[in-house]
């Protein structure tokens, strides 16, 4: 296990379709985070998990977004009824959270394009 992996790397969809992304964190990292990055901006926090529990959701995460981490390992992020404004890079990160300030390890991201 060499790092955080995300699938797919690219997704093109039509407006109104549902999409699902997967994130596999580094083994034994109990924290998993989702961020979204739009053009010209830094990543923005969406939500995070401690094991299977979703502990916080940003106001950026509308009702069309849902994230799960059913067994405390991989996570999925689903967007229902996609809109053009959902086009962005979706980044996943994981952390062991042994010490406060432990770094978060990022995956390569899934680039979503909504036509």
Residues lying near other proteins in the complex (CB under 8 A) are found at 4, 31, 33, 35, 40-45, 48, 55-56, 91, 93, 95, 97, 100-101, 103-109
Q: What is the DSSP letter of 85?
A: G
Question: Rounded to whole angstroms, what are the CA distances from 79 to 2, 3, 18, 103?
Answer: 28, 25, 6, 27
- Comparing CB distances to other proteins, the nearer of 72 and 108 is 108
The nearest distance, CB 27 to other proteins, in angstroms, is 17
Taking the CA of residue 26 as centre, how many other CA atoms within 13 Å lie in the half-sphere pointing to its CB? 14
The nearest distance, CB 6 to other proteins, in angstroms, is 8
- The Cβ of residue 23 has, within 10 Å, a number of other Cβ atoms equal to 26
- Comparing CB distances to other proteins, the nearer of 42 and 85 is 42
The nearest distance, CB 78 to other proteins, in angstroms, is 21
């Amino acid at each position: 296990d060499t790092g955080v992996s995300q699938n797919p790397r690219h997704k093109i969809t039509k407006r109104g379709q549902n999409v699902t992304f997967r994130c596999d964190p580094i083994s034994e990292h109990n924290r998993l985070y989702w961020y979204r990055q739009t053009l010209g901006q830094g990543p923005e926090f969406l939500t995070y998990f401690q094991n299977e529990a979703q502990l916080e959701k940003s106001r950026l995460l509308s009702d069309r977004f849902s994230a799960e981490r059913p067994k405390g390992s991989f996570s999925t992020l689903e967007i229902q009824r996609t809109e053009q404004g959902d086009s962005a890079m979706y980044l996943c990160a994981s952390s062991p959270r042994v010490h406060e300030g432990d770094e978060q390890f990022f995956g390569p991201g899934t680039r979503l394009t909504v036509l």
